[in-house]
Structure 1
Amino acid sequence: MERSGRSKTGADFLQLDPAEAPPGGLADWLTDRLRTAISTGHLPVGTRLPATRTLATDLGISRGVVTESYQRLTEDGHITARGRAGTVVVGPPVSTSTTTGRSRLRIRPRPPHAPTDDSGTGDTSCPSADLFDAGLEIFDTLRAAPARIDLTPGVPDLAAFPRAAWLRGERAVLSDLESASFGYGDPAGTPALRRAVANWLARNRGIAADPDDLIIVAGVAQAIGLVAQVLAQRGVHEIAVEDPGSLGSRQHLQNWGMQTPPVPVDDRGLQVDVLRESAASVVMVTPAHHFPTGVVLDGERRRELIQWAADGGLIIEDDYDAEHRYDRPPVPALRAMLAEHVIYAGSISKLLAPSLRIGWMLAPPQYKDELIGRKRLADLGNAALPQLTLAHLMESGELERHLRVLRRRHRVRRDAMVTAIHNYLPTATIHGAAAGLHLTITFDDPTDDVELAASALARGVKTHPLSWHSQLPHAPGLVLGYAARTPTEITEAIATIAEAGSVPKNRAQRV
């Protein structure tokens, strides 16, 4: 017993003893103890933490202290609340060997037509380099490559998937679902999801759409393929694309026989004057948040592009990352301004999870029936149950609540990456920090970004070289996803990239 007559407090859980905390620092102490336990593996992924009230009682401290500590760890991505399942650990153990120094650039451009490693005469300093020279299977190959920290762009915080809300929605749907609904349905999608998506687009993207005009697809990738097939049938064999621009989108178009002439993108977006000078009658754009640079198509360029379409062009609008904005107001979709000349595509992949394979498209009337026909032949339509569950989340407000949570969490991670780049890659120029799930950095010196990405992967960090996404000459760089990683992991990853190469010591710029 203490002299005061009170029993000494403490908990069996991690042998926590609040007497160790400095005066006024209980929340910091508890957060550090829990974070360390997660990092060392004493709290493995999937561990359920004590309820805030229970732990507070065991420790003899205010419940507010425990709640604040859990909130900090939630924002870091180490834990998440799962309703009745409680609060569980979702952040993997993080290596504590983060490099703190800065190194000078070792990786230089490969000479033209340099021999590959398997020739016996090429550079063998980076055994992963061949992986980054893969063809159509490039993304599958990279996805399968082991890495300690994965900064692949385009992936949301999968640990934050609203499992409890999804299960509630699924139960609600199943309780009312008629037996006939388990049969083959409309290949254009369930009426419930088309209504929900129409309402979502009206609220969030300024698009007035009749639910009957929507086509539910297996993500934007399938939308691109369906459009390419329909246009090819009409004699169109060329779709202009942004440059830099998504390698994945370009591969999908080329898979259906489309040529993809590049149109350069600058800090104001697509250079419409170059598009006008080309022979292309169709262009694919990401105007709300360009991939990979993060540029938003400015007002003047929007007007120029709309006029180009009004003069007979067709725009394929990939509304990439439009919902994930942090430091700028939303911009309306092009589809909201010129419906008759825009094929619009969006998906749930960046909001919930790519594995759901649910997206949507809106097309001018002259293309609608052909697109539905192609969708029918492709797969007879998306699975109905996930469509109905997603419709429930959209209509109940759960999806918007989830988006608000994601924005707060992603902003913290974005800021951690910006800080780490300033500290470890100080001359890199940062692009696209105002929105999205990734940052792009470019270097002024002649770095070989493929070799740099390969060298980073050899050290356990996975990312995309910017040159993957460029057909025209462009500054070297990296595309760095941050949404799925904790701030601690992000800092370690950027330090590792700096170790893999080197960067001169002027301050990083941010655009």
Structure 2
Amino acid sequence: MTRSWVNSAERIGVDLHLELSGPGGRRAALIQALRDAVRGGRLAPGTRLPPYRSLAADLGVARNTVADAYAELVAEGWLTARQGSGTRVAERTEPVPRTARVPRKAPLSARGPRHDLRQGTPDVSSFPRADWLAAYRRGTQQAPNEVFGPGDPAGRIELRKALAEYLARARGVRTRPERIVICSGFAHALRLLFGAGAVGAAGGGVLRGPLAVEGYGLPYHRHLLSAAGVRTVPLPLDEHGALVDRLGRERAVLLTPAHQFPTGGPLHPARRAAVVDWARARAGLVLEDDYDGEFRYDRKPVGALQGLDPERVIHLGSVSKSLSPALRLGWMVLPERYVDPVLAVKGDREAWVSVLDQLSLADFIVSGAYDRHVRRMRQRYRGRRDRLVRALAAQAPHVVVTGVAAGLHAVLRLPPGTEPSSLKAAAWQGIALDGLAEFRHPETDMAPRDGLVVGYAAPSEHAYGAALDALLGILPPG
């Protein structure tokens, strides 16, 4: 008869699942089961095993059976036993079984980064835990009973009202709560609009046809659109943003007008007006990715493009840069004619954000905690940007840094042909960062540019100096 032990009532030891089976009696079966658990890595070196009495009671065997099994495994070197320390798995120098090893492509992939300079990630150590917990408590305590029912696929009205006020005040968005649909982030918004894995009565997205995009952008979004059968047509870029006069027969265009990703810089005012005029003339649509609009460091405010024409621009935002990507909270500010179709694709259930998180964010905004957090992080990120610029000017003046007026990253322009070697050197030094070539649209006619996309927000405050020193050490000489 096979016996298994899963959960010990004793406070000493660990939860462990053992199968006692096979010939030779219970003592032999227990010895073999423990050997297998250690050999397979389920019992790590140093793990404290349950006392004889508790394991014997859980397995339904005699206490002496467990004591004898432990003693034999101690004699064989599998376990150690010391007075006051109990019985533990022995520390071993033998290699981990081949099947448990992590493939070793380079030091970075094997160990994880020593220095995280990846773009798009905020300083997660600065998440406002106390203020968020207070907002969560208030939001939950004040919530009406119907909050805990099926809910509204558009999102909680408390959050939509808070966002309508905040976006109008901080980003110049013109909307009403009825035009806001809560989603889990930008990728979720694309799925709802273009049917990339969207579910619902319609079985697909809201928009059709080719989509114009910027010549440099996030490859994940291109892949997501491609999976939905959407062809993306790249627009060239210059120092003033996308060349929107190159728009042709497309019916929609996706832009990052406040801070072009990843090259930096806002869309020129004349081009902002021109793309809205194009949308009006062609009955087209502009998708505005306002991914880090709150973090602007100069004195030239760049409001949302949506404010120029709320019926021709879909404004998309989230808290992934301002608070944390772990919250999975975003929003779509839609022209009136798209609200019902988007909700139909979203469906009556499932593809929703946690209602309690929505209530927490609503309280966080209304209480002023969101503004305080953004202002605090804006100052911190500006300080990190300034340190990066000063360090480059002093130690690598041949490297041109761009895109630093806003956002959480900068682009370091490198001499032609040096990007691959710089990335290889970074990997061997344990530095995680991206090369500019990764973001180039494969069909663009723009000349390739060598560069590094350096996220200065990701490291914690105490780790940033070391990360910056390591970065300077892998840059090509002038």
The Cα shift of 1:404 comes to 1.1
- Is 1:242 matched up with 2:214? yes
Q: Which 10-residue stretch deviates more, 468-477 or 393-402?
A: 468-477
The Cα shift of 1:304 comes to 1.2
Asked whether the equivalents of residues 185 and 381 of structure 1 are also in contact (C-alpha less than 8 Å), the reply is no
Q: TM-score, normalised by structure 1?
A: 0.67
1:5-24 aligned at under 5 Å gives the runs none
Q: Which 10-residue stretch deviates more, 262-271 or 232-241?
A: 232-241
Asked whether the equivalents of residues 192 and 206 of structure 2 are also in contact (C-alpha less than 8 Å), the reply is no
Q: Which residue of 2 aligns with 1:136?
A: none
Hey, what's the Cα distance between the residues in 2 that align with 1:235 and 1:161?
A: 36
The Cα shift of 1:443 comes to 1.6
1:272-311 aligned at under 5 Å gives the runs 272-275=244-247, 278-311=248-281
The Cα shift of 1:378 comes to 7.5
The Cα shift of 1:494 comes to 4.2
Q: Secondary structure at the match of 1:262?
A: strand
The Cα shift of 1:202 comes to 1.0
Q: Which residue of 2 aligns with 1:263?
A: 235
Q: Pick closer, same or farther for the CA change 1:413–1:487 going to 2, 3 Å.
A: farther
Q: Secondary structure at the match of 1:280?
A: coil
Q: Which residue of 1 aligns with 2:35?
A: none
Asked whether the equivalents of residues 417 and 491 of structure 1 are also in contact (C-alpha less than 8 Å), the reply is no
Q: Which residue of 2 aligns with 1:34?
A: none
| Aligned with 1:481 (options 455, 469, 477) | 455
1:71-82 aligned at under 5 Å gives the runs none
Q: Which 10-residue stretch deviates more, 331-340 or 414-423?
A: 414-423
| Aligned with 1:187 (options 153, 165, 183) | 153
1:49-60 aligned at under 5 Å gives the runs none
Hey, what's the Cα distance between the residues in 2 that align with 1:487 and 1:451?
A: 28
Q: Secondary structure at the match of 2:299?
A: coil
CA distances 1:86-132 after superposition (whole Å, capped 9, x unpaired): xxxxxxxxxxxxxxxxxxxxxxxxxxxxxxxxxxxxxxxx9549x9x
| Aligned with 1:411 (options 367, 382, 386) | 382
Identity of aligned residues (%): 38
Q: Which 10-residue stretch deviates more, 466-475 or 175-184?
A: 175-184
Hey, what's the Cα distance between the residues in 1 that align with 2:146 and 2:348?
A: 22
1:369-448 aligned at under 5 Å gives the runs 369-376=340-347, 379-447=350-418
Q: Which residue of 1 aligns with 2:477?
A: 503
Aligned partner of 2:132: which letter? Answer: W
Hey, what's the Cα distance between the residues in 1 that align with 2:471 and 2:297?
A: 26
1:13-412 aligned at under 5 Å gives the runs 127-128=105-106, 146-229=112-195, 236-275=208-247, 278-312=248-282, 313-376=284-347, 379-412=350-383
Asked whether the equivalents of residues 424 and 495 of structure 1 are also in contact (C-alpha less than 8 Å), the reply is no
The Cα shift of 1:233 comes to 5.5
Q: Secondary structure at the match of 2:365?
A: helix
Q: Which residue of 2 aligns with 1:37?
A: none
CA distances 1:402-446 after superposition (whole Å, capped 9, x unpaired): 111111111111111112222343212211111111101112322
Q: Secondary structure at the match of 1:320?
A: coil
Q: CA RMSD in A?
A: 2.3
Unaligned 5+ residue runs, structure 1? 1-125, 132-141, 505-511
Hey, what's the Cα distance between the residues in 2 that align with 1:490 and 1:231?
A: 46
Q: Pick closer, same or farther for the CA change 1:127–1:176 going to 2, 3 Å.
A: closer
CA distances 1:454-498 after superposition (whole Å, capped 9, x unpaired): 330221100011101002332111110011225664443344344
Aligned partner of 2:252: which letter? Answer: V
CA distances 1:171-210 after superposition (whole Å, capped 9, x unpaired): 1122222333112110110010000000111111111211
Asked whether the equivalents of residues 413 and 486 of structure 1 are also in contact (C-alpha less than 8 Å), the reply is no
Q: Which 10-residue stretch deviates more, 264-273 or 227-236?
A: 227-236
Q: Which has the larger radius of gyration?
A: 2
Q: How many correspondences in the alignment?
A: 364
Q: Which residue of 1 aligns with 2:36?
A: none
Aligned partner of 1:323: which letter? Answer: E
Hey, what's the Cα distance between the residues in 1 that align with 2:181 and 2:205?
A: 19
Q: Pick closer, same or farther for the CA change 1:408–1:354 going to 2, 3 Å.
A: same
The Cα shift of 1:376 comes to 2.3
Aligned partner of 1:297: which letter? Answer: L
Hey, what's the Cα distance between the residues in 1 that align with 2:269 and 2:207?
A: 32
Hey, what's the Cα distance between the residues in 2 that align with 1:272 and 1:464?
A: 27
Aligned partner of 2:224: which letter? Answer: H
Asked whether the equivalents of residues 269 and 290 of structure 1 are also in contact (C-alpha less than 8 Å), the reply is yes
Q: Pick closer, same or farther for the CA change 1:494–1:357 going to 2, 3 Å.
A: same
Unaligned 5+ residue runs, structure 2? 1-103, 196-201
